Amino acid sequence: MNWNASIDCCRWDGVTCDELTGDIVGLDLGCSKLQGTIDSNSSLFLIPRLRSLNLAYNDLGSSQIPPEIGRFASSLTHLNLSSSSFSGHVPSEILHLSKLVSLDLSYNHFDSIHPQFLSKLFKNVTRLRELSLKYVNISSTLPSNLSSSLTSLDLSGTRLLGDLPDDIFNLPNLQNLALSLNIALTGSLPKVNRSRNIPLRLLDLSQTGITGDIPASIAYLWSLESLNLYDCKLSGFLPSFVGNLSSLVTLDLKSTNVGGIIPSSITSLTQLVKLDLSDNSFTGLPASNNITGLQKLVHLDTSRNLLEGVIPSWVSLLTSLEDIRLTTNMLSGVIPSGLFKLSSLEVLDLSYNKLQGTIPSVFTLPSLRELMLDDNQLVGQLNLLDEDLVPRSFLQLVNITYLTLANNNFSGVWDLDILLSSLTNLQGLDLSYSGLSVVTANANHSVNPEFYALKLASCKLNVFPEFLRSATKLSDLDLSHNDIHGQLPSWSGKMWMDSLSTFDLSHNFITGLYHLPWNYLLHLKLESNLIRGPFPSSICKMSFIQIVDLSNNHFNGTIPNCFGYINDNLVMIDLGNNSFHGTFPVISGCERLGELNLNRNLVHGKLPSSLAKCAALEVLDVGNNQFNDVFPIWLATLPILKVLVLRSNSFHGSITNAEKTDFQFSNLRILDLSQNKFSGTLQSNFFRNLKAMMNVSDEKTEEN
The CATH number linked to 59 is: 3.80.10.10
**Cα distance between residue 68 and residue 65, in whole Å:** 8
Neighbour-count burial for 67-84, b at 16+ CB within 10 Å, e otherwise = ebbbbbeebbbbbbbbbb
What is the model's pLDDT at position 454?
98
Q: Mark which of 79, 100, 133 sits at the end of a domain.
A: 133
Which region holds residue 88: left if phi is over 0, alpha if psi is between -120 and 50, else beta?
Answer: left
Q: Mark which of 94, 116, 133 sits at the end of a domain.
A: 133
Strands (E) across 91-143 are located at 102-104, 109-110, 130-132
Q: Looking at the domain assignment, is residue 544 inside a domain?
A: yes
Q: Looking at the domain assignment, is residue 568 inside a domain?
A: yes
Is residue 394 exposed (0-12), middle (13-18) or buried (19+ Cβ within 10 Å)?
A: buried
Q: What is the pLDDT of residues 660-680, one digit of tens each?
A: 555 678 899 999 999 999 998
Q: What is the pTM of this model?
A: 0.88
Q: What is the pLDDT of residues 340-353, one digit of tens each?
A: 999 999 999 999 99
What is the model's pLDDT at position 197?
83
The enclosing H or E element of 415 equals strand 413-415
Structural domain of residue 60, as residue ranges? 1-133
**Cα distance between residue 14 and residue 10, in whole Å:** 9
Overall size of the chain counted in residues? 704
Q: Mark which of 111, 133, 155 sits at the end of a domain.
A: 133
**Cα distance between residue 638 and residue 13, in whole Å:** 69
What is the model's pLDDT at position 101?
97
Closest CA to 585 of 575, 316, 594, 577: 575
What is the model's pLDDT at position 426?
96
**Cα distance between residue 644 and residue 650, in whole Å:** 15
Q: Looking at the domain assignment, is residue 214 inside a domain?
A: no
Q: Looking at the domain assignment, is residue 157 inside a domain?
A: no
Domains in the chain, number: 2
Task: Extract the residue ranges of the chain whose pLDDT is less than 50.
Answer: 658, 704
What is the model's pLDDT at position 292?
82
**Cα distance between residue 324 and residue 298, in whole Å:** 8
Q: What is the pLDDT of residues 403-455, one digit of tens each?
A: 999 999 999 999 999 899 899 999 999 999 999 999 999 886 778 999 999 99
What is the model's pLDDT at position 215?
87
**Cα distance between residue 535 and residue 538, in whole Å:** 9
Q: Looking at the domain assignment, is residue 592 inside a domain?
A: yes
What is the model's pLDDT at position 704?
47
Strands (E) across 441-484 are located at 453-455, 476-478
Q: Looking at the domain assignment, is residue 579 inside a domain?
A: yes
What is the model's pLDDT at position 373?
97
Q: Looking at the domain assignment, is residue 205 inside a domain?
A: no
Q: Looking at the domain assignment, is residue 548 inside a domain?
A: yes
